[in-house]
Amino acid sequence: MHRSGRPPRADGRREPPGNASRRVTPARGCTVPAFDLDTELTAERHHLAESRAALARMRGRAEELFSTGDRVAGDAYTAEQLGRHMARRVKELADDPTTPLFFGRLDIEEAAFHVGRRHVTDDAGEPMVLDWRAPLSRSFYRASVRDPQGVATRRRFGFVKGELTSFEDEHLDRGEELGTKSRILTAEIERPRVGPMRDIVATIQPEQDELVRAELTDSICVQGAPGTGKTAVGLHRAAYLLYLHRERLRRSGVLIVGPNTAFLSYISAVLPALGEVEVQQATVDELVGRTARATDSPAAALVKNDVRMAEVLHKALWRKLAKPTDPIMVSDGSYRWRIDAEPLRRIVDEARREGLPYGVGRDRVRARVVGLLQRQSEYRTGNSPGEGWLRRMSKIGPVVEFLEASWPAVTPEQLVAEVLTDPPEGLLTDEERDAIRWAKPPKTVKSAKFSPADLVLIDEAAGLLERETSFGHVVVDEAQDLSPMQARAIARRSEHGSITVLGDLAQGTAPWAAAEWQVTLGHLGKPEAAVVPLTVGFRVPASVVELANRLLPALGVDVPEAVSLRRDGDLVLVPVAEPSDLDAETLTEVTAALAHEGSVAVIAADAAVDRLRQHLTTAGIEHATADDVDSEARVTVVPATMVKGLEYDHVVVHEPADIVAAEPRGLNRLYVVLTRAVSRLSVVHAQPLPGPLTAAA
Ligand SMILES: Nc1ncnc2c1ncn2[C@@H]1O[C@H](COP(=O)(O)OP(=O)(O)OP(=O)(O)O)[C@@H](O)[C@H]1O
């Protein structure tokens, strides 16, 4: 168990337990004398300074080891391994002076434990700060009056720019519990958003913590309304699993899959802030490699993303096998070897029955044929042929010809090109086959231009040929939009690991969006994953949630409504009489928003985005695009189709009717758009608001 003594007081003595006071600014009715609070605060600041100094020494030692590493390592490989390990360690021990090193304290029996982002130990190896992921830290998130877990007092610290400015105590042993009424939690939730997503490690809520700390072997699916912390939970779960199963997961890897690059840049700072610098992030398109060079018609995309395409490819591949009809005859110096058609048939049949990937099966058939030749050679010559002979036989003309006839070589691109040139009958209707058939087949497979959906098919084909290596854990965000074929691409990469699926059926905007989780979980290869709801919203103010929830009955999915923790926030509907004034009104709203603190987003139908950017430039208002998270500009113009997963303090929605009309699942898109606001939402519209929005609450 990790323990630290109570923090030394300014006079160097250890603080006795039980006299911790409430807040620096005492709560109403609190009669704790102010000097007590000051002393306590001074002691905590002292502990913070000492912890920072200890961390600096830990980093110094790691740097020293890093620089001497190649001199002590025995060989180049060990030096390289050690060097990489130490470089990672140095990076992990980086101290960011603007983020608190600890954010909480637990008083258990006679000892105090500070809980923070990582372990910090003093020179004697005694813990000064416990990593939030350590077993003991769990009580910081879970202890309650009903189940105090041995905790007498839980303390939360308030910080301003890395300076410890306040604390708040819950004396669980005296029946005091603040829950979501904690001022420090409220301040954290209401803090204006600037730049990329932040970690929530100081304020993870019990229902979130349960998901974060689920076993590595557990695959879970989190269904949560907008802003309930799904993304945050997924990222903290990745960090938690890496802490608990460091070696195993470093070897197999952890992967985060997100909907687009803007989203991935938005979340990219969270794991490094938690000391985890080696997690891969990718969109599904990036996962399947290469850049698409063609686009599909909606009808073709629909068919190509349908799960029947897996069967189409499977059949197209395996029907390439042919029964051997001729013997193999090989000249080998003065010898001649012969294998009859019958044993060849047996070899092919057996390999087929073994259920191996196609490429592996082909290698096995080749090896067995060479094995038969080897036996004949041994029998006739009395010698065992060497490696060179075996290699020569495996490439010799008659063996290659036999393989090409009975188990031909094929590349994933070739297989997909064959299917798209002449879609096979049987599994698809004639109309569907017409939809995916290439109007003009390319001259060669190499010159073929593949669409994003084709690349997923190629990935499927590659999975039929060879086994994909599996990550130890995969977190899939916005999973409601995965097509069955995309889900299968992820399944191949998590076959031997577990997954965390995050999503909201109500936010499904893809034509193949899931209507229930069981189907998607099946395609992801984890049908047994439990579906767990999150319902407490941390982003969207109650008034905005109430407006967005009006859309829910029209979205055709059965999900629990969000309940907002936020009582603050404004909602303004701005009707515009003349459509020609719409853009100008939008600009007026942006200017008004800039008077407040925090980020501002203009969200519009994709077609209006360029025009709005132009207006902002003309008006001299600096603005950025969604994937430029490092931009200094406070205003971002985001097309409605790119805004999933993002959030801004003030959102100005430009003409909801256009957003709805732009795509078949436009109402779902509008639901996503309306739920991006953290503090204020303005809806500017010249057309009537879409029907469901005007329904009485
Ligand atoms: N326990 C918490 N303490 C403080 N802030 C939190 C907590 N949980 C979530 N948040 C904040 O709420 C906001 C929404 O979280 P997040 O983006 O993870 O939600 P989501 O469920 O993924 O939303 P969406 O469905 O819109 O993608 C973020 O700013 C996040 O930091």
Share of the chain above pLDDT 70, in %: 90
| pLDDT higher than 50, residue 5 | no
More confident residue, 585 or 64: 585
Give yes or no for residue 672 CB within 6 A of ligand 1.
no
Q: Output the pLDDT for position 611.
A: 97
DSSP structure string for 129-194: EEETTSGGGHHHHH--SSS-TTEEEEEEEEEETTEEEEEEEEEGGGT---GGG-HHHHHHHHSPP-
Q: Output the pLDDT for position 37.
A: 76
Comparing 213-217, 372-376, 378-382, 448-452, which segment has the lowest mean pLDDT? Answer: 378-382
* Residue 400 Cα to ligand 1 middle (Å): 58
Q: Are 227 and 607 in contact (CB under 8 A)?
A: no
228 is in an annotated binding site: yes
Q: Output the pLDDT for position 19.
A: 37
For the CA of 198, the closest atom of ligand 1 is 31
pLDDT digits (tens, 9 = 90+) for 58-72: 888 877 776 665 555
More confident residue, 696 or 129: 129
Continuous segment of H or E residues that includes residue 280? strand 280-283
* Residue 539 Cα to ligand 1 middle (Å): 6
| pLDDT higher than 60, residue 23 | no
Give yes or no for residue 454 CB within 6 A of ligand 1.
no
- In our burial notation (b when 16+ CB lie closer than 10 A, e otherwise), range 608-625 reads bbeebbebbeeeebebbb
Q: Output the pLDDT for position 4.
A: 39
Q: Output the pLDDT for position 11.
A: 32
Q: Output the pLDDT for position 77.
A: 66
pLDDT digits (tens, 9 = 90+) for 278-321: 899 999 999 998 789 999 999 999 999 999 999 999 999 999 99
371 is in an annotated binding site: no
* Residue 536 Cα to ligand 1 middle (Å): 10
pLDDT digits (tens, 9 = 90+) for 231-285: 999 999 999 999 999 999 999 999 999 999 889 998 998 998 888 888 999 999 9
291 is in an annotated binding site: no
| pLDDT higher than 60, residue 7 | no
Q: Output the pLDDT for position 154.
A: 96
For the CA of 507, the closest atom of ligand 1 is 25
Share of the chain above pLDDT 90, in %: 74
224 is in an annotated binding site: yes
More confident residue, 7 or 354: 354
* Residue 200 Cα to ligand 1 middle (Å): 8
Alpha-carbon Rg for the chain, nearest whole angstrom, is: 31
Give yes or no for residue 224 CB within 6 A of ligand 1.
yes
Give yes or no for residue 226 CB within 6 A of ligand 1.
yes
Q: Output the pLDDT for position 627.
A: 81
231 is in an annotated binding site: yes
Residue range 100-112: mean pLDDT, rounded = 92
More confident residue, 83 or 8: 83
Residue range 584-602: mean pLDDT, rounded = 96
More confident residue, 357 or 561: 357
Which residue type sits at 650? Answer: H
Q: Which two tokens stand for residue 410?
A: 């094929």
Give yes or no for residue 231 CB within 6 A of ligand 1.
yes
Residue range 188-204: mean pLDDT, rounded = 84
Give yes or no for residue 200 CB within 6 A of ligand 1.
yes
Selection from 49, 22, 15 nearest residue 122 by Cα: 49
Residue range 456-460: mean pLDDT, rounded = 98
DSSP structure string for 575-588: E-SSGGGHHHHHHH
Q: Output the pLDDT for position 145.
A: 96
Q: Output the pLDDT for position 430.
A: 97
| pLDDT higher than 50, residue 569 | yes
Q: Output the pLDDT for position 49.
A: 93
pLDDT digits (tens, 9 = 90+) for 73-100: 566 666 666 666 666 666 666 666 777 8
The pLDDT mean for the chain works out to 89
Give yes or no for residue 208 CB within 6 A of ligand 1.
yes
Q: Are 265 and 484 in contact (CB under 8 A)?
A: no
Give yes or no for residue 230 CB within 6 A of ligand 1.
yes
Find which of 37-46, 160-169, 659-668 is predicted with most confidence, using mean pLDDT.
659-668
Q: Output the pLDDT for position 159.
A: 87
Q: Output the pLDDT for position 405.
A: 97
230 is in an annotated binding site: yes
* Residue 111 Cα to ligand 1 middle (Å): 33
More confident residue, 29 or 344: 344
pLDDT digits (tens, 9 = 90+) for 130-152: 999 999 999 999 999 999 999 99
| pLDDT higher than 70, residue 554 | yes
Q: Helix or strand or coil: residue 48? A: helix
Q: Which two tokens stand for residue 395?
A: 């490439």
